[in-house]
A and B are shown apart, each in its own frame.
Chain A
């Protein structure tokens, strides 16, 4: 067993666990006891793989970005999660979890969402399976992300505003957990990132691990070697990074770069660079690294990218950071926006602002020229057009 994967107690080094109120204990225990059994069933694997291929459109291409490579003087591939149905990697996880929920006999799905990408991916699979769906979304985010709210409603989901606290992702997560406490028997909570109590971080990482599983095969076919020298992915909670890193964790020659959102700058007071600013703590059911005051109150983060605007990171990321296996770095709003425009002009691909953070870090790596680099292009930028237009004054 890899030292970078979860142990039998639900921990990654000192991080992880299940710090949940007793009211959630039976639900989480049921998941913990069943998730591996269910995921490993032949019928589950067959349905999961069939949906990933025929419905999501996998495998997603591994694209050799020649003009981008030329600019940075090395060989860069993009893992095109932006080409998935619903426009991002999020659907890999929601497909997996809806199949799991069905097999657990659950009749109702709840989810939290920030920018709405995970909410849309959840509403999508609930429509696909004809299961009742409620998505919690901060009141502030509902106003900022109207098209995604409309998508969820078209799919038949109920979008419930989270009106507590700062009315954003963290509070939507609190409301979803409260809903789960009040509906313990028939409801499954589809968490959208590698956060939450064990087994969620491991379960979500497994569903997202298809990203690196495909990358290995594709790279081998294209270059004759499975392993790149570096992989880069953005990190909010960290689900696309967890999937992009998964099959490289024990390949110590592969350098892992996890790019956080520095917002207006790490020290500006408006940032979401969790590993730079955070300390060990407990939030949303797991022990990890989170942005907090000296008194242990969670600090509201800031990033131009709603998907990276989370005050913590998943416990596996906390462990990859602390153990030194991963390089946890950050780029600012401005650097990400420039990188988003750059990819658009060089390759004709408009990336999500989240993914643009990973691209922006290319600027900071001193390439020698013979590297093979894979960047996880976790989502497409359609949802961000408003932001791009305002920022660049188009």
Chain B
């Protein structure tokens, strides 16, 4: 059930943005523009009041999105026609409490109904997922994406690999979002160490990827990388939609 395809030679580029930012109704427009510009898959964030894994830029986008009236319910309303506009894989990313209040089962069903491929919930731990929610996710063919950090033990990585159904979110360093990737030898050695584990699921690097050099560095030993903060920053510009093709081109070409 791999929803993203590893491509030989050309690393995958994924873009993260927060639903409801900069305006309540910008979600689908941004998503289709990103596909047009050449993004390989997308992560759409649903905002939360207390995003502990995020740095200031994504925190700010979440605050604005909430002030704009974004909710999980509203997001699924907006995504009803997702598959008319967007054909690349789409993942939802956010914190557990809004999912819990919406209802985990209803959340998975709605993901399936609108054509979302998977979800990334950083504060839903592996053990709780496995015990309480795995069945619901799998019944609806929704991939739950797990995070691996430089401190994650090999034993735990193997367990994560066995529970993963799409890709593994490889954190470039132990950090919140929006820090700069350390392009030194330690980071490369860490990516190589994980690559050498020869896991079933492709590795996609996130956190700290902002431009072509960091993207290339991150994807050398992996299937690709995710850009979040560097893209969300650009959504402040009045002509942000017009800038999307050039932004993607600056990383991929």
Which stretch of A12-20, A85-93, A123-131, A375-383 is in the interface?
A12-20
CA distance A298 to B96 in the complex (A): 12
Which stretch of A173-181, A243-251, A327-335 is in the interface?
A173-181
Q: Which residue of B lies closest to A163 (CB)?
A: B56
List B58-84 residues whose CB lies under 8 Å from chain A.
59, 63, 66, 71-73
Work out how many contacts link A and B, with CB atoms closer than 8 A.
106
Q: Which residue of B lies closest to A20 (CB)?
A: B123
List B187-238 residues whose CB lies under 8 Å from chain A.
none
CA distance A166 to B252 in the complex (A): 39
CA distance A298 to B125 in the complex (A): 20
Partner of B123, one of A21, A178, A279, A294: A21
Which stretch of B4-12, B108-116, B173-181 is in the interface?
B173-181
Q: Which residue of A lies closest to B150 (CB)?
A: A184
**Are B72 and A295 closer than 8 Å at their CB atoms?**
yes
**Are A21 and B52 closer than 8 Å at their CB atoms?**
yes
Which stretch of B22-30, B35-43, B99-107 is in the interface?
B99-107
**Are A165 and B63 closer than 8 Å at their CB atoms?**
yes
CA distance A281 to B124 in the complex (A): 12
Q: Which residue of A lies closest to B47 (CB)?
A: A297
Residue B186 interfacial (CB < 8 Å): no
CA distance A18 to B125 in the complex (A): 7
Q: Which residue of A lies closest to B123 (CB)?
A: A19
Known contacts A20-B125, A22-B171: A182-B179 contact under CB 8 Å: yes
Known contacts A17-B128, A25-B125: A282-B53 contact under CB 8 Å: no
**Are B176 and A165 closer than 8 Å at their CB atoms?**
no
Q: Which residue of B lies closest to A197 (CB)?
A: B125
Residue A227 interfacial (CB < 8 Å): no
Known contacts A22-B122, A22-B146, A23-B175: A297-B48 contact under CB 8 Å: yes
CA distance A376 to B49 in the complex (A): 33
Known contacts A18-B125, A21-B53, A281-B97: A296-B146 contact under CB 8 Å: no
Q: Which residue of A lies closest to B53 (CB)?
A: A21
List A145-184 residues whose CB lies under 8 Å from chain B.
164-165, 170-171, 174, 177-178, 181-182, 184
**Are A298 and B50 closer than 8 Å at their CB atoms?**
yes
What is the minimal beta-carbon distance from B39 to any residue of chain A, in angstroms? 25
CA distance A254 to B125 in the complex (A): 37
Chain A 272-300 interface 0/1 with B at a Cβ cutoff of 8 Å (1 = within): 00000001111111000000101111100
Q: Which residue of B lies closest to A184 (CB)?
A: B174
What is the minimal beta-carbon distance from A31 to any residue of chain B, in angstroms? 14
Residue A57 interfacial (CB < 8 Å): no
Which chain A positions have C-beta within 8 A of B100? 280-282, 296
Partner of B101, one of A23, A285, A292: A292
CA distance A285 to B101 in the complex (A): 16
Which chain A positions have C-beta within 8 A of B125? 17-20, 22, 25
What is the minimal beta-carbon distance from B195 to any residue of chain A, in angstroms? 19
Which chain A positions have C-beta within 8 A of B151? 23, 25-26, 184
**Are B49 and A297 closer than 8 Å at their CB atoms?**
yes
List B101-158 residues whose CB lies under 8 Å from chain A.
101-102, 122-125, 128, 146-149, 151-152, 156
CA distance A177 to B122 in the complex (A): 13
Instruction: List 5 other contacts, CB 8 Å, given A17-B125, A295-B71.
Output: A26-B151, A165-B63, A177-B52, A182-B179, A184-B174
* A/B interface sample: 11 pairs, CB < 8 A: A22-B125, A22-B171, A23-B174, A178-B55, A181-B53, A184-B151, A285-B123, A294-B101, A295-B72, A296-B99, A297-B66
- Smallest CB-CB A-B distances: 7 pairs: A296-B101, A296-B98, A295-B71, A21-B122, A22-B147, A297-B49, A296-B97
